Amino acid sequence: MTLVKQIWLAIALIMAAAFGTSLAVNLYSTRHYLEQQLQVKNLDNATSIALSLSQMNKDPTTVGLLLAAQFDLGHYRFIRITSPNGQKLFEQTYSGDFGDVPPWFTRLFPIHTEPGQALIQDGWKQYGTLTLASHDQYAYQSLWDGMLELLRWFVLGCLVAGGIGTWLVRWFTRPLLEVVAQAQALAERRFQTVKEPRTSELRAVTRAMNDMVGRIKAMFTEEAQRLEVLRDRVNHDAVTGLSNRDHFLSQLREVLGGEQHGSSGSLIMLRLADLNALNKQLGHQRADQLLKSLGELLQADTQEGQRAGRLKGGKFALICPTQDSAAAAQALHARLLRDWLPQWQSEWHDLFHLAAVHYERHQGLADLLTRADQALARAQAKGRNNWYAPEASRTRIAIPAEQWRVLLTEAMAQTDRLSLALFPVLSCRDGWLLHHEGALRLQTDVASAPLSAGDFMWMAAKLNLTAPIDLGVVKLAIRGLRERSGKVAINLSADTIADFGFRNQLTELLQANPALCSRLLFEVPEYGVSRHFEAFQSLSHRLKSLGCQVGIEYFGKRFVESDKLASLGLDYIKVDPGYVRGIGGNAGNQEFLTGLCTMAQTLGMAVIAVGVEHAEDLALLSRLGFDGATGPGVQWNERS
């Protein structure tokens, strides 16, 4: 029962008790007063009529007329005259009932009065005795009307008191509701503070909870900063800030084998002409400044999906998914000539060579690096500060933007063109299935193999078509869940979460399928959360209120912003495969991931490893604290 209902009940009980007491006192006092008034009326009327009769002629007709007139006007129950010897000379009575007083009321509150008596004289002799009694029905009617009036005032007072009490309770408990909301947010693993109320008792509770939330946030932020430093130290070059060789090659393996990237792209290699000579000529400190400025340029040039790294010494690399190798090399070369080379050309003329090679999904890493080194040699042969990109042999015909628009629009209209490929996510501890991850496929035509999301979603983002495609994916998942058991995770595009229309359509779709919401998981890439944090926060709260689970995928690239996780109440995170691949031989990443798992699980989030290449890594991941894993090395056989 709510507090407002309890207040109403308490007010009703108090008012009922007050009404009952006041009613009883009022009725008994009023009855006593009416009895007294009736008694006085009986005596006065008897005396007055007897005096009148004593002065009149005692003719029976005259006496009868006088008494009849008095009886008709005086509301009497009876009037009687008896002779001195007890003989009844005259009597008139009223035996009927009038008024609307219920019989039970007259039985509950009886009115007792004595009749009035007076002697009638006839000269010096006694003519008789006059006895009369006023009708008590008028007293009952007055008593009944008084009770009804008191009841009406009681009901009105109860309603007014209840209304005022409700308003006061809601006004007084508004801070309490905020405290309740804060406690509920804590239960949902969202850490938020509220304004301290003026009520001293509630202010103490609110202050204590705010202090607790503040300490948790501070602890989380401190741990996040520590892990950020550790991550940078393990995976990034100290001078340039770019990914070091191991981390970059891990990312390159993910691009070549993962489905979230395009099936083809370009790898750019940049090599300083002679780093040792540069160190001697410029000095160690000045050479480090040159390397740092180059790293900043490569980092600034990276668009979403691109990755830059320092392989060794003066050798750098840049991954450019979905881009033509010649166009990518030419664009980077132009930026180097405009923004970087003029700062150093006066001190060293022959600074760099640049080359770009095309890659295809599932291409061997060693072969790709060999081709890149060969292209670098060709660039060096062309002269100082030059570039080279061999002509790419494409396995897929390029599609113009307008054809992409037609293709994607038709795919949304014909639902059989879109499908979901399901990949298992298993528990690291016992190998049981946690959920399936749904990967989107697009069938362009009957003869061609389906395209993965990385092949076309980048173009869908350019054409502003990600929202209808993602809504179609949700419909596919709901249709599949009706036919099989288990849970399915759906990837939402970074641009979709900021689409207000999509959020409303998604909410309506989920509300129409409430039984399936608990089996739906929604994931958003970390860079999408970073770009549209407030939109993701709103979407997350809405999805969780419907019973869905929410997570972040490819987590770890923007770890410096991970302190915001404390306000999201996420169910899980999926760690970027760049930290997971080759984990067995990377002690630094093992330490980093252990801290990440501890921190995330403190907030109630499960941690899932993505890109696991070998089944043997599951035991290690479990020791590091991972709850689940997925990737090419994760195999699952349905248990009976």
CB atoms within 10 A of CB 507: 15
Asked if 395 and 455 touch (Cβ cutoff 8 Å), the reply is no
What whole-number distance in Å separates Cα of residue 619 and Cα of residue 634? 12
pLDDT band at 476 (very low <50, low <70, confident <90, very high): very high
**How buried is residue 331: exposed, middle or buried, by Cβ count under 10 Å (0-12/13-18/19+)?**
middle
- Higher-pLDDT residue of 460 and 196 is 460
- Higher-pLDDT residue of 308 and 5 is 308
- Residue 452 carries which side chain, given as an amino acid letter? S
CA atoms within 13 A on the CB side of 460: 26
Asked if 147 and 23 touch (Cβ cutoff 8 Å), the reply is yes
Whole-number Cα distances in Å, 602 to 9, 219, 595:
43, 11, 11
Distant-in-sequence, close-in-space partners of 132: CB < 8 Å, separation ≥ 6: 42, 45, 46, 49, 74, 76, 78, 79, 80, 115, 116
Asked if 293 and 345 touch (Cβ cutoff 8 Å), the reply is no
Give per-residue pLDDT as tens, 489-537: 999 998 898 888 999 999 999 999 999 999 999 999 988 888 888 899 8
Asked if 275 and 287 touch (Cβ cutoff 8 Å), the reply is yes
- Please determine, for residue 11, whether its predicted confidence score (pLDDT) is greater than 80: no
Round the average pLDDT of the chain to a whole number and report it: 84
- Please determine, for residue 640, whether its predicted confidence score (pLDDT) is greater than 50: no
DSSP per position, 496-556: TTT-HHHHHHHHHHHHT-GGGGGGEEEEEEHHHHHHTHHHHHHHHHHHHHTT-EEEEEEET
Q: Which residues pair with 608 in a beta bridge?
A: 574, 628
Residues 415-444 have a mean pLDDT of 88
Provide the angle, in degrees to the nearest 10, between the axes of the packed helices 60-74 and 3-54. 160
- Residue 173 carries which side chain, given as an amino acid letter? T
Provide the angle, in degrees to the nearest 10, between the axes of the packed helices 466-483 and 453-462. 140
Q: Is the C-alpha dihedral spanning 625, 629, 632, 633 positive or negative?
A: positive
What domains can you pick out in the chain, each with its CATH number? Answer: 3-159 (3.30.110.200), 264-388 (3.30.70.270), 401-630 (3.20.20.450)
Give per-residue pLDDT as tens, 354-379: 999 999 888 888 999 999 999 999 99
Give per-residue pLDDT as tens, 566-613: 778 889 999 988 899 888 888 889 999 999 898 888 888 899 999 898
The structure tokens 């949902």 sit at 188
Residue 579: closest CA among 556, 551, 553, 601: 556
Percent of the chain, pLDDT > 70? Answer: 92
Residue 376: closest CA among 269, 248, 245, 294: 269
| Residues making up the chain, counted from first to last | 640
Most confident segment among 39-43, 111-115, 344-348, 533-537: 533-537
Asked if 593 and 579 touch (Cβ cutoff 8 Å), the reply is yes
- Residue 8 carries which side chain, given as an amino acid letter? W
pLDDT band at 559 (very low <50, low <70, confident <90, very high): low
- Please determine, for residue 199, whether its predicted confidence score (pLDDT) is greater than 50: yes
Give per-residue pLDDT as tens, 100-144: 788 888 788 888 888 888 888 887 788 889 898 887 777 888 888
pLDDT band at 560 (very low <50, low <70, confident <90, very high): very low
- Please determine, for residue 443, whether its predicted confidence score (pLDDT) is greater than 70: yes
What whole-number distance in Å separates Cα of residue 184 and Cα of residue 191? 10
pLDDT of 444 reads 78
Give per-residue pLDDT as tens, 202-252: 777 778 878 877 777 777 778 878 888 888 888 889 899 899 998 899 888
pLDDT of 1 reads 63
pLDDT band at 304 (very low <50, low <70, confident <90, very high): low
- Please determine, for residue 183, whether its predicted confidence score (pLDDT) is greater than 80: no
Asked if 250 and 444 touch (Cβ cutoff 8 Å), the reply is no
pLDDT of 563 reads 58
Largest CA distance in the chain: 164
Give per-residue pLDDT as tens, 279-290: 888 888 888 899
What whole-number distance in Å separates Cα of residue 49 and Cα of residue 27? 32
What whole-number distance in Å separates Cα of residue 419 and Cα of residue 616? 31
pLDDT band at 302 (very low <50, low <70, confident <90, very high): low
The structure tokens 């926060």 sit at 537
